[in-house]
Amino acid sequence: MTRSPDPDLEPPAPAAARHRSDYVRWWLRAADRAAEAGRELLALAAPVECVCCGSEDFSLCGHCERALRLLTRTPFRAEGQAPALMDVNGSVILPVVAAGVYREELAQAVLSFKKYGQRQLESVLSKALGRAITVAAGTTHGVCLIPVPTTNSAFRRRGFSPVHLLLRNLDRSGRLGGGRPADALRKGGTFGQWPWSAAALPERLQVLAAAHAMAGGQKGLGRGARAKRVRGSMRARPAFLAPDIRGCPCIIVDDVLTTGATLAEAARAVHQAGGVVLGAVVLAATRPPDVADPPAVPGATAVMGARL
């Protein structure tokens, strides 16, 4: 039976879960108690609380971590809920595999990691992203995993790029399989950030200036505004700074999927740089998958292998 990406839709377990008993060997018990004492001392020096439920001494308590694993245990196809990634006739423009639904514990963890710099969540979030990458890549080897670049203002504010950090963690731990991170994209300059007004530009550039007049993030913007905001905002990094992706199978990686405008723009930039775009992977999708969407795991690899 295929698992649903939403644990609330699954029937209750027929039997209670088995709980781990105490360690048999004394040195394991001693190590566990020493680690617990260390956590308590660290909590006194730097108090923390769970980003989801507020429990003390843990950035993510055991109960909430288990709930997050349940939300991300079944990667699913999510492009059907992103209007920018679907054609008017219902065909798929860019296939996307999501690790989980952007809700409850997963939403809180992603928000705390991105906005508030809770780096302790890096491990659990990178594992969820790794499962989605494994499903998307399937048996394809040598896949270039291209992170969506963050804006300069967001990087200065956070001090890091969330997607780059998660991919780096997966690469260090050897959980990328046959894939490899490839930092091949960068954010292009926008006219809205230039010191002069669009009226002072030549007439042929005023149309482009209007397309990039929106400053700030995309939260709260509709489909059309999001597409307008990101149009032409990405480009390939200079050849001497970036890996050569010409002719290489590429999967674009981002954190949250909403309308799909950002992924569509990244796919355009990768295609223009000569990469073969197989699809995209996101940590969370803001809308749950519809029953009419393609199956999650069985059909993901076959469609992700189609060239754009």
pTM (2 decimals)?
0.71
- Per residue in 263-280, pLDDT (tens digit) is 999 999 999 889 999 999
**pLDDT band (50, 70, 90) for residue 72:** very high
Q: What is the pLDDT of residue 298?
A: 46
Q: What is the band of 7 on the pLDDT scale with cuts at 50, 70, 90? A: low
pLDDT in tens, 217-242: 455 444 445 445 566 668 888 877 77
Q: At residue 282, does pLDDT exceed 80?
A: yes
Report the pLDDT averaged over residues 1-28: 67
Query: Does position 102 have pLDDT exceeding 70, yes or no?
Result: yes
Kindly report the CATH number that applies to the domain delimited by 73-188+232-304.
3.40.50
- pLDDT of 19 > 80? The answer is no
Quick check: 14 pLDDT over 80? no
The Cα 279–Cα 252 span in angstroms is 6
pLDDT in tens, 169-181: 998 888 887 788 9
Kindly report each contact of residues 5-8 with a partner whose C-beta sits within 8 Å and lies 24 or more positions away, as own/partner: 5/71, 5/74, 5/75, 5/76, 5/98, 5/100, 5/101, 5/288, 5/289, 5/296, 6/71, 6/101, 6/288, 7/67, 7/70, 7/71
Least confident of 80-94, 116-130, 251-265, 269-283: 80-94
Q: Please compute the mean of the pLDDT values over residues 56-77 and round it to a whole number.
A: 87
Q: In which band, very low, low, confident or very high, does the pLDDT at 18 lie, cut at 50, 70 and 90? A: low
Residues in the chain: 308
Tokens (6 digits) for 227: 């597409």
Which residue intervals of 46-202 are DSSP H helices?
62-72, 104-115, 122-137, 152-158, 162-173
Q: What's the pLDDT score for residue 152?
A: 77
State mean pLDDT over 201-217: 41
Buried b (16+ CB within 10 A) or exposed e, 123-147: ebbbbbbbbbbbbbbbebeebbbbb
Average pLDDT over all residues of the chain: 75
Q: Is the pLDDT of residue 99 over 90?
A: yes
Whole-number pLDDT of residue 81: 80
Give residue 200's pLDDT. 41
What's residue 134's pLDDT?
Answer: 92
**CB-based contact 184:302 (threshold 8 Å):** no
What is the pLDDT averaged over residues 106-117?
A: 87
Q: For the chain, what are the domain ranges?
A: 73-188+232-304
Q: Is the pLDDT of residue 202 over 50?
A: no
